[in-house]
């Protein structure tokens, strides 16, 4: 094994170490003898022996054939040859990556601080780890960083964007910004020579790119071969970058596209456009996951947190001497139709009470499902045991073993503890770079914990079992019901409940009463619950399809500290144009300054004025086209679309320009004329678009009005009324009163009629409070 280390002065060293990976084969001994004869006849450099290893679901050691491979580079080949020879046997520990096996053997992990002793041939004689993956405070090595990107807006170059190459060099990872060099591609040889010079001179530990995996590195390597100018992307000169092709696959009801990957030897390459969730937790979170999962950093940023939690389970199994199955071996137990109805229910949801509410507290169970697994010992091997019939899962009746600690709880408990400690520090610290590092690390923990529950029921999970998944949701439903009953007993009105959260309301409540409520719920459920925050106001919004029906995860509100929280509205959707997001956020910010229902009502005219201003900008044709981009994901091959949707038309345009698109890829486009007779004029793909055609004012105005409707729905305002008001405000029609639904004219009508006579929003806002004195009877829940 080649091991790259960085010393305290920032110098990189290439060391060598010994590793003998092993896999195990279980089954009938006659079959195992046949496997042994097959392996001996192949004359591979291996060692065969009997071994006793613990089988997870049996709970005791079994005798297996141990196959040690003395040449690690042949490990994968030998394992697959054996599985093809006897596919019906049970195989263990065969598809664990070699780096992970090395970390297991040395009890080390990526970015661990260690003490090394090496001989003159740079072979490791001793390795002592002076670090722990569970350490709260740890130092990272002094990484030198280089950024390679295309100049400009960082658009997808695979879709046609072209620009000069930029190289930014930083002597240290913590440098905010380094020196930027622009390399023009008119002379490819000069570009290669200068880039080679930068790589040799700065010798970065970390190369960060935008679209480096799918475009920049492949194009540079192609030019390097063409002009015979070697680019030292790898510190190891004996190896080219490791290439992994792109793929599309189906997962949880949608097509996912996994772009190609270019990984380096001796230094890291991280493509920000191909890094999983780093926009949420950044490189600090990625480093934290690498330390916890023992997955090398270049791999961890390109894989899901599901792979991460699975790696943590594998590490826990290895520590316990438990065999790690190659394929999932525990099938779902037989159930009748009634059993399925009773057990397979999922989380509990109470539909929210529609409308605007004041003084609402949101309380959340802390990592509810992971905490349930850790507290109640829910694990695939502990569910439905025969030794503990008195410990039953609520409602569905599975027994839970109390005699042995489950593998999943053992994996999750320290992770939950570490996240709780980070969150505690975040609450106690002022804003600072250190606080942001803690926030990113605990965010990475959150995604690992979110995924661990899903992997209990995932069909391909090594340590998955559907009965364990059902047990967790049953405990979750019971905890939520108990919390609801305790809250109501204490005089709170439950406005909404969603799996692990409750929104409760009680006028005039002090913090001490909330603390008492949380303590009682924690004592009753054994799962910690915390106060997410107290809203000045929160609005639960109706369904688009049925205005009388509330939606579980569509709301917006403002906490006492002024922070806005929203779910399911336009500003939270990834397919909303930035212009619409900005408009909706500005409207919400105006309402966020209000503390009471009366103050909210006084700000409604300001919201409408903001909407008019944004509509004015659209009609003037001056909105930058970058702010009108809509991003959507392809669900199939572009040529497979039978209808000319805007997404399909944009994809077909890109294909016509030479782009190779795959299902699951994200496409960006701008609507130019939605109902044009010629379908090719309806939309333009964003990457090659440079504002050469006007955008569709009417369509973007419609999208704007939908965003305004979302904000004003709690006040009983309908889309057609907003549309009429915007026309008046932008001068399309003669100004007239803004009419409300008949049932609300008595209370709200005078307010809006008054505002309509005053075009100046500041003047209107200043005079409205006087008018509200006359309409105060309407200001009620």
What percent of the chain has pLDDT above 70?
92
SS3 685: strand
Mean pLDDT over 601-612 rounds to: 92
Decide which of 764 and 456 is more confident.
456
Residue where one domain finishes, among candidates 227, 242, 274: 274
pLDDT of residue 478: 96
Residue where one domain finishes, among candidates 240, 255, 274: 274
In a shared domain, residues 195 and 181: yes
Residue 532 has phi, psi (to 5 degrees) of -70, -35
pLDDT of residue 731: 56
Name the least confident of 209-213, 473-477, 727-731: 727-731
Question: Cβ atoms within 10 A of the Cβ of 395, count?
Answer: 17
Name the least confident of 84-88, 333-337, 630-634, 708-712: 333-337
369-420 pLDDT, tens digit per residue, is 999 999 999 999 999 888 888 889 999 999 999 999 999 999 999 999 999 9
Token reading at 742: 């008949």
Domain-located, residue 314: no
pLDDT at 770 over 70: no
pLDDT band at 754, cuts 50/70/90?
Answer: very low
pLDDT of residue 730: 59
In a shared domain, residues 634 and 544: no
Domain-located, residue 395: yes
In a shared domain, residues 656 and 770: no
Mean pLDDT over 235-255 rounds to: 88
pLDDT at 553 over 80: yes
Mean pLDDT over 361-370 rounds to: 95
13-36 pLDDT, tens digit per residue, is 999 999 999 999 999 999 999 999
Decide which of 413 and 57 is more confident.
413
Taking the C-alpha atoms of residue 533 and residue 327, their distance in angstroms, rounded to an integer, is: 44
- For residues 209 and 216, is the Cβ–Cβ distance under 8 A? yes
Taking the C-alpha atoms of residue 61 and residue 320, their distance in angstroms, rounded to an integer, is: 11
pLDDT band at 332, cuts 50/70/90?
Answer: confident
- For residues 188 and 227, is the Cβ–Cβ distance under 8 A? yes
pLDDT of residue 732: 52
Mean pLDDT over 131-147 rounds to: 94
Mean pLDDT over 514-535 rounds to: 96
In a shared domain, residues 152 and 269: yes
One DSSP character per residue, 283-338 reads HHHHHHHHHHHT--HHHHTTS-HHHHHHHHHHHHHHHTTB--BSS---PPPP--HH
Token reading at 729: 């405000």
For residue 361, list its beta bridge partners: 504, 534
pLDDT at 724 over 90: no
In a shared domain, residues 224 and 108: no
Mean pLDDT over 68-82 rounds to: 96
Contacts of 287 (CB under 8 A, 6+ apart): 110, 111, 140, 297
Taking the C-alpha atoms of residue 470 and residue 442, their distance in angstroms, rounded to an integer, is: 27
> Could you tell me if residue 154 is left (phi over 0), alpha (psi between -120 and 50 degrees) or otherwise beta?
left
pLDDT of residue 470: 94
pLDDT at 577 over 60: yes
- The strand ranges marked E within 330-395 are 349-350, 355-365
Domain-located, residue 604: yes
Say if residue 146 is exposed, middle or buried (CB neighbours under 10 Å; 0-12, 13-18, 19+): buried
Tally of domains within the chain? 5
Report the mean per-residue pLDDT for the chain: 89
Domain-located, residue 334: no
Domain-located, residue 361: yes
462-520 pLDDT, tens digit per residue, is 888 899 999 999 999 999 999 999 999 999 999 999 999 999 999 889 999 999 999 99
Mean pLDDT over 577-596 rounds to: 95
pLDDT of residue 178: 76
Mean pLDDT over 175-196 rounds to: 87
Q: Which element (helix H / strand E) includes 671? A: strand 666-671
Mean pLDDT over 546-573 rounds to: 93
In a shared domain, residues 634 and 618: no
- For residues 270 and 206, is the Cβ–Cβ distance under 8 A? yes
Q: Which element (helix H / strand E) includes 46? A: strand 46-55
Residue where one domain finishes, among candidates 250, 274, 298: 274
Residues spanned by the domain of 185: 145-274
pLDDT of residue 547: 87
pLDDT of residue 734: 41
Closest CA to 469 of 340, 349, 348, 383: 383
SS3 587: helix
SS3 249: strand
In a shared domain, residues 111 and 205: no
Domain-located, residue 139: no
Q: Which element (helix H / strand E) includes 529? A: strand 529-542
Kindly state the DSSP code that residue 216 receives in the 8-state scheme. Answer: I
Mean pLDDT over 194-203 rounds to: 95
418-440 pLDDT, tens digit per residue, is 999 999 999 899 989 999 999 99
Domain-located, residue 404: yes
In a shared domain, residues 122 and 10: yes
Say if residue 276 is exposed, middle or buried (CB neighbours under 10 Å; 0-12, 13-18, 19+): buried
Taking the C-alpha atoms of residue 383 and residue 333, their distance in angstroms, rounded to an integer, is: 11
Decide which of 763 and 397 is more confident.
397
Q: Which element (helix H / strand E) includes 32? A: helix 29-41
Q: Is the pTM of this model over 0.85?
A: yes
In a shared domain, residues 388 and 537: yes
pLDDT band at 242, cuts 50/70/90?
Answer: very high
pLDDT of residue 733: 43
User: What CATH number should be reported for the domain holding residue 639?
Assistant: 3.40.1820.20
In a shared domain, residues 595 and 740: yes
User: What CATH number should be reported for the domain holding residue 89?
Assistant: 3.30.342
Domain-located, residue 635: yes
Q: Which is it for strands 145-150 and 90-92: parallel, antiparallel or unpaired?
A: unpaired
In a shared domain, residues 38 and 77: yes
In a shared domain, residues 588 and 648: no
Kindly state the DSSP code that residue 433 receives in the 8-state scheme. Answer: H
């Amino acid at each position: 094994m080649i091991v790259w280390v960085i010393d305290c002065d920032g110098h990189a060293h290439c060391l060598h170490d010994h590793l003998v990976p092993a896999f195990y084969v279980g089954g009938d001994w006659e079959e195992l003898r046949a496997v042994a004869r097959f392996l001996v006849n192949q004359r591979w450099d291996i060692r065969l022996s009997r071994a006793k290893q613990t089988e997870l679901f049996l709970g005791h050691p079994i005798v297996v054939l141990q196959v040690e491979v003395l040449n690690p580079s042949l490990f994968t080949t030998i394992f697959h040859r054996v599985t093809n020879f006897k596919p019906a046997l049970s195989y263990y520990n065969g598809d664990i990556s070699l780096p992970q096996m090395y970390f297991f053997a040395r009890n080390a992990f990526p970015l661990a601080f260690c003490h090394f002793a090496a001989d003159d041939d740079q072979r490791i004689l001793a390795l002592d780890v002076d670090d722990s993956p569970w350490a709260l405070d740890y130092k990272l090595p002094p990484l030198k960083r280089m950024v390679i990107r295309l100049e400009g807006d960082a658009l997808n170059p695979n879709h046609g964007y072209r620009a000069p190459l930029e190289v930014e060099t930083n002597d240290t990872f913590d440098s905010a910004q380094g020196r930027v060099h622009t390399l023009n591609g008119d002379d490819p040889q000069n570009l290669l020579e200068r880039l080679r010079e930068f790589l040799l001179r700065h010798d970065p530990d970390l190369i960060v790119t935008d679209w480096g995996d799918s475009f920049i590195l492949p194009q540079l390597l192609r030019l390097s071969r063409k002009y015979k100018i070697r680019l030292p992307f790898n510190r190891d000169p004996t190896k080219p970058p490791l290439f992994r092709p792109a793929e599309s696959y189906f997962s949880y009801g949608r097509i996912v596209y996994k772009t190609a990957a270019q990984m380096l030897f001796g230094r890291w390459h991280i493509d920000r456009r191909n890094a999983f969730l780093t926009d949420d937790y950044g490189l600090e979170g990625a480093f934290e996951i690498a330390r916890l999962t023992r997955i090398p950093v270049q791999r961890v940023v390109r894989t899901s947190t599901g792979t991460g939690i699975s790696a943590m389970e594998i590490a826990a199994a290895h520590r316990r001497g438990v065999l790690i199955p190659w394929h999932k071996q525990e099938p779902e137990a037989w159930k009748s139709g009634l059993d399925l109805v009773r057990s397979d229910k999922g989380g509990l949801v109470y539909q929210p009470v529609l409308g605007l509410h004041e003084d609402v507290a949101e309380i959340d169970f802390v990592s509810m499902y992971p905490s349930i697994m850790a507290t109640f010992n829910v694990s695939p091997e502990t569910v439905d045991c025969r030794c503990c019939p008195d410990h039953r899962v609520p409602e569905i009746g599975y027994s839970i073993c109390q005699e042995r600690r489950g593998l999943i709880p053992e994996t999750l408990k320290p992770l939950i503890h570490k996240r709780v400690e980070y969150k505690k520090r975040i609450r106690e610290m002022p804003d600072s770079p250190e606080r942001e590092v803690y926030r990113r690390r605990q965010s990475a923990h959150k995604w690992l914990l979110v995924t661990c529950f899903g992997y209990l029921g995932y069909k391909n999970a090594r340590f998955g079992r559907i009965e364990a998944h059902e047990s967790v949701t049953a405990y979750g439903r019971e905890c939520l019901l108990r919390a609801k009953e305790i809250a109501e007993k204490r005089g709170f009105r439950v406005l909404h409940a969603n799996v692990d959260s409750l929104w409760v309301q009680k006028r005039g409540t002090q913090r001490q009463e909330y603390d008492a409520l949380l303590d009682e719920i924690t004592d009753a459920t054994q799962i910690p619950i915390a106060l997410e925050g107290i809203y000045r106001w929160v609005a639960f919004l109706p369904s688009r399809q049925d205005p009388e029906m509330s939606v579980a995860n569509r709301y917006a509100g403002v906490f006492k500290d002024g922070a806005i929280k929203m779910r399911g509205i336009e500003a939270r959707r990834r397919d909303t144009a930035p212009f619409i997001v900005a408009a909706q956020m500005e409207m919400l910010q105006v309402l966020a300054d209000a503390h009471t229902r009366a103050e909210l009502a006084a700000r409604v005219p300001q919201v409408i004025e903001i909407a008019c201003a944004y509509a004015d900008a659209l009609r003037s044709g001056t909105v930058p086209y970058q702010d009108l981009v809509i991003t959507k994901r392809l669900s199939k091959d572009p040529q497979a679309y039978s209808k000319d949707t805007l997404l399909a038309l944009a994809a077909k345009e890109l294909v016509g320009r030479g782009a190779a698109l795959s299902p699951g890829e994200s496409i960006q486009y701008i609507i130019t004329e939605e109902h044009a007779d010629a379908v090719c004029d309806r939309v333009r793909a964003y990457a090659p678009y440079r504002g050469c055609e006007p955008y569709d004012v009417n369509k973007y105005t419609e999208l704007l009005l939908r965003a305004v409707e979302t904000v004003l729905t709690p006040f009983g305002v309908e889309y057609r009324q907003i549309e009429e008001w915007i026309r008046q405000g932008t001068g399309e029609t003669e100004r007239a009163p803004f009419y409300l639904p008949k049932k609300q004219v008595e209370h709200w009508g005078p307010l809006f009629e008054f505002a309509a006579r005053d075009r100046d929003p500041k003047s209107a806002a200043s005079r409205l409070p006087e008018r509200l004195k006359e309409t105060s009877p309407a200001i009620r829940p």
